[in-house]
Amino acid sequence: MENNFVKKVELDKVVGVTSTLPVTQFPEVAFAGRSNVGKSSLINGLCGRKSYARVSGTPGKTQTVNYYLINDKYYFVDLPGYGYANVSKEKQASWGAMIEGYLNNSKNLRYVFLLVDIRRVPNDDDRLMYRYVLESGLHPAIICTKADKIGKTQIQKSINTIKTELKCDEDTRFFVWSALKKTGLNEIIDFIKECFE
């Protein structure tokens, strides 16, 4: 599937736990989600690249806030994956503080996409993340990942479960995404374009 939106991409900034978040000059959309939910695969798909954002088989790999500069005028911001059990409580807490700090302090954040595995019922971490975004004054869109892993007839049922568990209102936007089949790619890109207008 052809993707003409992203003509140029570069990893512009990487911010760790002890670093201060940068003040950027371009509008941003951020991607949040549980470890191993497929954020890197989504960013690669949106960018039309196979392996630009690092895809790892090890959950919890993204431990920084990564700023991808798109077309020299936008940022995709990849937030640390949360909820990985094999990481210490202290490290989990520091990642949570990074995410909350970013959501509360970014001046150019236009929208947040919360990624949820369509096969899983959202857990406490997902609910907390959803609440973080709402409390920051934004209304997140939900991207249901790994849609190729379930049958088409199960998709709407899974979306309804996610909507109920997160207590989403009727205006919440939902997108269905498959990194394998690129399902939902054009819809997500069109929505991101709207966010940047």
Q: What is the pLDDT of residues 88-115, one digit of tens each?
A: 566 656 667 888 889 999 999 999 999 9
Those residues whose C-beta lies under 8 Å from the C-beta of residue 82, and which sit 6 or more positions away, are 32, 33, 34, 35, 92, 95, 96, 99, 125, 129
Per-residue pLDDT of 131-155, as tens digits, reads: 989 999 999 999 999 999 999 999 9
Cβ-in-10-Å burial (0-12, 13-18, 19+) of 169 comes to: exposed
Structure tokens that stand for 147 in this block: 């849609």
Query: What's the mean per-residue pLDDT of the chain?
Result: 88
Q: Is the pLDDT of residue 57 over 70?
A: no
Three-state DSSP class for residue 123: coil
Structure tokens that stand for 181 in this block: 């089949």
Number of residues assigned to the chain: 197
